[in-house]
Structures are given as structure tokens and as C-alpha cells.
Chains A and B, each alone.
Chain A
């Protein structure tokens, strides 16, 4: 009996032969493909938003259009009155820390580069400018602020660029929400597919599972075999999905950088973003593994 027999252990549950294996791999690779592209979208939007938010945070400029009147002094006084109204209103706005109207000297300093030294600006109808400091955590609805400001002081208007940007930010936020919903749905659908195919497989291998059960196998023993198998399928499917997604992410990125105006110039994915995308197959593996494990535990409790 010194003969040592090398025995290749066969799997008690022949899960490799399950006809659903290929189906699951395809489902998972499509899921990871969609997930990777959508995620890269979310991450790009995030970096754009961060940039835009930076530029609208902190401060704000309000302009008071000058009143035109033959009587220059009267016109200037009326303009100042509108400025006063605007200041009063701005001070009541939540998130506003400090409201500072620019004085004549500062205004001249702003205009000088445009008109040159020789112009006597006292004779021109001068717009007034108010500098508004905002709290760093202020959540300001710029569209509403612009409306309220116009009511409080009809000559006052909000800095156009910020208003426009704030609308863009809202749009981007909306897109992000849709993208996150897609991520959630894709994950849920894949987990659902794993859940049902695992249940089917448990039914298919019922005979074997019953025997294992009677031999004293705990539910975890069977669940682990399914978890291992699904981990492999999840990883392979995930790698394929990623493989197809990466060129497309680069392609979309190159399209974005071609847009003039630099709006999306900040859409580049950071190293951290790329790491998140590249570990998606591991994420798919983990989800597949836990879904299978949970399904087996749950189903066996009802089945046996």
C-alpha cells in the first residue's frame, strides 16, 4: 500500500457544466461595459462640476445699470438709490457675508483700461458695481436670486456668466442623477440574473445537494461552491466588459476635448478615477460572489 495514488478531486457540484455559465458571463460583461462608460461619465461630470462650483463659489458681482437723464446729477443720484435698494436686499439674502459697493475711484480703475486716461468719466452715465462675498458653504439658487434682485431693484442685474454657469451646473447634476440611476439599475439587473440562474442551478442539482445535506454539509458548504464559481464568472465577464469599454471611454474623452470654449476642458479623468474604473471587474466579482452566496443560503433554507 506504499503506492501513493494521486487523486484529482472532482467537484461534487458540477457547476462548470451549467448551461447558464456563458449567459451569465455575457450579462456581466455587458453590465460592466455599461457601468464603466456611465461611471466615467459620472466622474467626468464630477470633475467639471468641481471646477464650475469653484468659480461660482465665494463671490458674486451685481451691476446697477445707470439711469439716463439729461440732468446728470439727478441721474447719478437715482442710480445710487437703486444701488442702495440692491444692497439692502442683498444683505437679507442667506449665505451673503459682506456687501461692498465699489466707490468712484475703484470704478474708474475698472473702466480706465477701456477708455484711456484722457476721458472725463464724470460726464458719462456710470454703472455701479457691488461686490458680494458669499459664505463658502452657501447654497444659492442663482436663478431665484436674479429674479428677486430685479424685483427689489429693477436696475440691478446679476453677473451673467455665473447665472448661466449655475444653470449648467443644475443640468449636469441632473445628468449625474440619471447616470447614477443607470449604475444602480445595471447592478440590480445583474444581481437579479445571478439570483435566478443560481436558483435554477440549485433546482437542477437538487439530488446532489440533498445528499450533501444528509452527509452533514452546512448550507455554507454549498454556498461557498456557488460563490467561488460565480466569482470566477464575474471576474472573467467583468474583464471582458472593461476591455470593450476602455477604448470607448478614450474616444468619448477625445470628443470632449475637441469642444471649443474650454467648457469641458476639465473633463479629464484623474488617476483616482481610472483606478475606480479599472477595479470594476473586481467589483463585479464581489457582487456576483455575494449574490450567489446569499441566494444559496436563502434558497436552501426553503428547499431543505
Chain B
């Protein structure tokens, strides 16, 4: 691992399958450099969510090895894995908010699980919520928010902890098919500050507007495409 000290995620011959089913992804080799920005593309069912869920240490690969922040997860104990997860922010495809909690409490979650002082929690969460223009809904239960508002809460929750790695799964159909420009700008800003970003998306507009490399999933494999690459594996397969 020493050779890749600036590598945030290393995957070696990774395969993943569910139960006894066929492999969804096979022989994935990937090295995500610190400070990089990637889109993650591929047809529905290609395995984008599966790949991301291995990155945020939810799914374990059924074979191969993964290192996150230089730690091989097969040789890392439960509590240390939790510590690694705290350095990763995730925006889920379906947001996964705690519906019974307020927007505030949802965003405060990552801070509270690592035991931050409540005074500091309040300061940080209020600031961020007003930045995503949700200060009026701060105390509203997540269940009462609109789709777009939920997305902003989900994104605020993902970035509140100033993560070193930010993973975003594509937004579902009930919201705009692309991430609002202001939020995309947030990701770009965070990336400039050093955060490594991976965004799974279906949006051609997003891919074309921002000239970032793509991790493209096809036929169970991973292909890296650069903006200049016109090889035809592009967005037409959505």
C-alpha cells in the first residue's frame, strides 16, 4: 500500500455477487487518486450502486481486495472501519433520510455519531442548512419535505463532516434528473479543497458540462473514459 500513499481507494481483482447469483462486477481494478473527480456511468443494473457501496464500506467484495485510505479492509477491525466511514460522505440514490427526524437532526447525524459537542454541532449544521437554503425548514420533519429539499438535506448530511471522499449515487426519477447546478458547484468547490469525488449519474448534460473522467461500467467490467475519448461507450446507452 505504501506505493499508493496518495490513493484513496484501491481495488484489486474485485468481484461482487449477491447470494449465490452471478457476479455483477468482475475483476475490477481501480485506483482513485486523492483529489480526483469522477463520474460513474453505466446502464441501469450495471452495478453503479454496488460499486459505490463497496467504496463506502457497506458491501464487502466477494473476491479481491479493497483498500480505503491505505487500509486493507480485510485486515481492519469493526471499530476502525467505523472510523474510516466517518471520512466518507455518501448521498444515496433514495436519500435515505430518517423521516421522523428534522432536517437539522438528519444533517447533524454524522457529527453526533462521532461524539461532537452539541454546541459545535448546532453551529455547523445551521450554517450549512442556510447555505443550502433550508434554514426555514430546519425543524421540519424530513417526511414533510419535497423531493428537491430532501436531496439538499441528503447532500448537506454527506458533506457536513468535511469528508475526504464524497460519493453520490444518481438522484431518482422523482427529482430533477440532474443535480441542481448550485449543488454541483458545491461538489466542485469541495473537490478543489481536496475532497475526492465520485458521482454516479445518468445525466448527459452533467457529463458534458463538466469535463471530468468517467468510470464506466459495462459487461461487468470497469472502463475509464477521459473527456477527449470519443470511443462511443458514452452516454447513449442510458
Contacts and interface: CB of A to CB of B under 8 A. Distances in A.
B187 interface: no
B165 to A, nearest CB: 12
Contact of A12 (B56, B96, B105): B105
Given A1-B126, A12-B105, A218 B82 contact: yes
Contacts of B86: 215-216
B105 A10 contact: yes
Given A1-B130, A5-B126, A215 B110 contact: yes
B160 to A, nearest CB: 10
B109 A12 contact: yes
A208 B106 CA distance: 11
A214 B56 contact: yes
A82 B109 CA distance: 90
B83 A216 contact: yes
Contacts of B88: 216
A216 B130 contact: no
Interface string A216-240: 1111010000000000000000000
Contacts of A212: 109, 113
A161 interface: no
A110 interface: no
A243 B89 CA distance: 51
Given A10-B105, A215-B109, A5 B100 contact: no
Contacts of A221: 113
A217 B82 CA distance: 6
Interface in A73-102: none
Contact of A7 (B57, B109, B122): B122
Contact of B113 (A1, A210, A217): A217
Contacts of B224: none
Interface in B97-118: 98, 100-102, 104-105, 109-110, 112-114, 118
Nearest to B78: A219
B85 A214 contact: yes
B50 to A, nearest CB: 15
B139 interface: yes
A1 B96 CA distance: 29
Contact of B101 (A1, A12, A214, A216): A12
Contact of B102 (A10, A213, A301): A10
A211 B100 contact: no
A144 interface: no
B79 interface: yes
B105 A211 contact: no
B58 interface: yes
B138 interface: yes
A7 B57 CA distance: 32
Interface in A260-304: 301
B90 interface: yes
Interface string B109-137: 11011100010001000100010000000
B185 to A, nearest CB: 22
Most buried by B among A5, A7, A208, A221: A7
Nearest to A300: B78
B79 A211 contact: no
Contacts of A208: 98
A1 to B, nearest CB: 7
B77 to A, nearest CB: 11
A10 B58 CA distance: 26
Contacts of A1: 126, 130
B105 A216 contact: no
B99 to A, nearest CB: 9
Given A5-B138, A5-B139, A10-B105, A215 B100 contact: no
B137 to A, nearest CB: 12
B166 to A, nearest CB: 14
A304 to B, nearest CB: 9
Contact of B85 (A5, A12, A215): A215
A14 B98 CA distance: 11
B98 A216 contact: no
B109 A211 contact: yes
A9 B105 contact: yes
Q: What 6 A-B pairs come out closest when comparing CB atoms?
A: A216-B86, A217-B113, A216-B85, A218-B82, A215-B110, A216-B82
Given A215-B157, A217-B82, A218-B78, 15 more contacts: A1-B126, A5-B122, A5-B126, A5-B139, A7-B105, A10-B101, A12-B101, A211-B98, A211-B109, A212-B113, A215-B86, A216-B82, A216-B85, A218-B82, A221-B113
Interface of A: 1, 5, 7, 9-10, 12, 14, 207-208, 210-219, 221, 301
10 contacts: A5-B138, A7-B104, A12-B101, A208-B98, A210-B58, A216-B83, A216-B88, A216-B110, A217-B113, A219-B79
